[in-house]
Amino acid sequence: MQQLTRSFSLMFNYLSRLNRIMLGSLAIFTLIIAIWKNSIYFPLFGRLNTTIVSPEKRKFIDQPIDTTGHSSQFSKENEKDIEKNNSNIKIHETSNTNKYVIFSGDTISKILSQHNVPIADIKVLSREHADLQNIKVGQSLSWKMTVNGNLQYLIWNVSQREIRTYNRIYGKFQENITYIKGKWCNTTLTGYLNGTFINSAQTAGLSYSDTYAVISALQWQIDFKKLHKGDKFSVLIAREMLNGKSARTQLLAVYLHTAGKDYYAFLADNGKFYNRDAKGVTQSFMRLPTLKQFRISSTFNPKRLNPITGRITTHLGVDFAVPVGTPILAVSDGEVIISKYDDIAGNYIAIRHGHQYMTRYMHLHKLLVKPGQKVKLGERIALSGNTGRSTGPHLHYEVWLNQRPINPLTATLPRNESLTGHDRSEYLNKIKTIIPQLHS
Ligand SMILES: [Zn+2]
């Protein structure tokens, strides 16, 4: 029990560093139960939903997502795999198995030598399986000795999804990697807007990450701040169940009805979302806010050395040597959030694009748009100038993604692409079966 408590706190540290978004206690309990179950039931593979992968075929076997809602087929196939593979496993259940939870500063050699595993065995293991040097705090090891005092096998619980075993065969250790796969099943969740979308989504049973996936998928079509009370939404989510808990989810489709219109986004096989007509749901960006490229007078540099003051100052955008009066264009569809004079930025404009992007344009001569105004890609928003803190005519241009400035010249910017040909017809066939699930 003490060990369980110890592993509990270690797991928590390990997880919170690794992935802050994971829901703390639920995930930790799942993990502990998984490790506890693995160490107890490991010799009886049938208790776990596992597939054994030989070292030659080491790759992650991902279970296909079943978009029709029938998951039973997969579980039957899994069972067959388990039976087939179990015959290859020759580990017998014992009562004197050693178990160990990895602490900070541990190495595989240190742990095993402290537990009287012969140095010769440790050397063979380390030489043949260099990966064992990568053990991490919170993972667990278990092993068994032969009657002659040699190492019979070692089990490394890498994660909730991965177990590695090292079986002694003729003085060497053969590695087997076991990937634990959950069962995927689909769920439709429906809700009505009451308050913010995030709150309404959570009331309908969506997790934070599911909610964020919905906002990302529809952000270019819908302004989530301008929804109305009672707007209906529906999502189709694939859930992976692992050890009786929901391990991860994938948004497959979303429907939202607002202001008399229906909006859809469906996940295609390429991992991107498209609408009901197989058109991309993202909005394209132009690389530059001008018709032609001007000389760059200062590059993007989060830590720039100011040549005048000698200090390191940040430069969150790119400066272009643009003559006064040059038309400045919106780089994508969006809504003007700021259009005003500022002592430093001069006349400047900020535009919000979707939920994640913002662009800013500074030192302008004349502002041609007002806050709240919707703009289209390529639309003229200002004439460039030399206003505010500026030593010569130029345009200072910034792109922000998720509240962080990114390099406007090199960042990957959203591009709207539609499905074509065979991909398109396959997609349209698939969504025919999904749409009724969103409205059920
Ligand atoms: Zn600048």
The structure tokens listed for 331 are 């780089």
What is the identity of the amino acid at 407?
Answer: N
Strand order in the sheet with 98-101: 50-53, 172-180, 162-169, 151-159, 140-145, 98-101
* Cα Rg, the chain, nearest whole Å: 29
Tell how far the Cα of 19 is from the centroid of ligand 1, in angstroms.
Answer: 35
Give the per-residue pLDDT at 207: 92
| Other residues' Cβ atoms within 10 Å of the Cβ of residue 422 | 8
Tell how far the Cα of 406 is from the centroid of ligand 1, in angstroms.
Answer: 14
Tell how far the Cα of 334 is from the centroid of ligand 1, in angstroms.
Answer: 22
**Whether pLDDT at 142 is above 90:** yes
Average pLDDT over residues 240-261: 90
Indicate the pLDDT class of residue 306, thresholds 50, 70 and 90. Answer: low
Give the per-residue pLDDT at 74: 31
Tell how far the Cα of 354 is from the centroid of ligand 1, in angstroms.
Answer: 24
Tell how far the Cα of 362 is from the centroid of ligand 1, in angstroms.
Answer: 8
Tell how far the Cα of 311 is from the centroid of ligand 1, in angstroms.
Answer: 16
Tell how far the Cα of 160 is from the centroid of ligand 1, in angstroms.
Answer: 48
Handedness of CA 218, 220, 222, 226 (dihedral sign): positive
Tell how far the Cα of 345 is from the centroid of ligand 1, in angstroms.
Answer: 9
Tell how far the Cα of 374 is from the centroid of ligand 1, in angstroms.
Answer: 25
**122-134 pLDDT per residue, tens:** 999 999 999 999 9
Given a contact cutoff of 8 angstroms between Cβ atoms, the answer to whether 103 and 10 are in contact is yes
Report the mean per-residue pLDDT for the chain. 81
- To which residue do tokens 């709240």 refer? 372
Tell how far the Cα of 326 is from the centroid of ligand 1, in angstroms.
Answer: 17
Given a contact cutoff of 8 angstroms between Cβ atoms, the answer to whether 98 and 144 are in contact is yes
Indicate the pLDDT class of residue 85, thresholds 50, 70 and 90. Answer: very low
Tell how far the Cα of 328 is from the centroid of ligand 1, in angstroms.
Answer: 15
Tell how far the Cα of 348 is from the centroid of ligand 1, in angstroms.
Answer: 12
Give CB contacts under 8 A, 24+ apart, made by 27-32.
30/160, 30/242, 30/243, 30/245, 30/247, 31/160, 32/4, 32/7, 32/8
Alpha carbons 419 and 428: distance in angstroms, whole number: 10
Tell how far the Cα of 217 is from the centroid of ligand 1, in angstroms.
Answer: 33
∠ CA 80-83-86 to the nearest 5 degrees?
A: 145
Tell how far the Cα of 427 is from the centroid of ligand 1, in angstroms.
Answer: 45
Which among 173, 179, 100, 90 has a CA at the least distance from the CA of 130? 173
Handedness of CA 140, 23, 253, 433 (dihedral sign): positive
**pLDDT > 70 in the chain, percent:** 77
Tell how far the Cα of 308 is from the centroid of ligand 1, in angstroms.
Answer: 14
**Whether pLDDT at 93 is above 80:** no
Tell how far the Cα of 300 is from the centroid of ligand 1, in angstroms.
Answer: 8
Alpha carbons 427 and 137: distance in angstroms, whole number: 44
Where does 148-280 show beta strands of DSSP type E? Answer: 151-159, 162-169, 172-180, 183-192, 232-242, 245-258, 261-267, 273-274
**Whether pLDDT at 78 is above 70:** no
Q: Which of 75-84, 223-232, 249-258, 362-371 has the lowest mean pLDDT?
A: 75-84
Tell how far the Cα of 411 is from the centroid of ligand 1, in angstroms.
Answer: 17
Distance of CA 25 to the CA centre of its chain: 20
Residue 195 CB contacts under 8 Å (≥ 6 apart), including other chains: none
Tell how far the Cα of 309 is from the centroid of ligand 1, in angstroms.
Answer: 15
Tell how far the Cα of 392 is from the centroid of ligand 1, in angstroms.
Answer: 11
- To which residue do tokens 């749901």 refer? 281
Q: Could you give the domains of the chain?
A: 2-180 (3.10.450.350), 183-274 (3.10.450.350), 296-406 (2.70.70.10)
What is the phi/psi pair of residue 423, to 5°? -60, -40
Tell how far the Cα of 343 is from the centroid of ligand 1, in angstroms.
Answer: 14
Average pLDDT over residues 279-287: 92
**Whether pLDDT at 49 is above 70:** no
Which among 252, 270, 237 has a CA at the least distance from the CA of 421? 270
Tell how far the Cα of 319 is from the centroid of ligand 1, in angstroms.
Answer: 5
**9-36 pLDDT per residue, tens:** 444 444 444 444 444 444 444 444 444 4
Indicate the pLDDT class of residue 305, thresholds 50, 70 and 90. Answer: low
Provide the CB-side half-sphere exposure for 279 (13 A, CA): 10
Tell how far the Cα of 292 is from the centroid of ligand 1, in angstroms.
Answer: 19
**Whether pLDDT at 39 is above 50:** no
Q: Helix (H, G, I), strand (E, B), or coil: what is residue 240? A: strand
Tell how far the Cα of 401 is from the centroid of ligand 1, in angstroms.
Answer: 18
Distance of CA 328 to the CA centre of its chain: 35
Tell how far the Cα of 298 is from the centroid of ligand 1, in angstroms.
Answer: 7
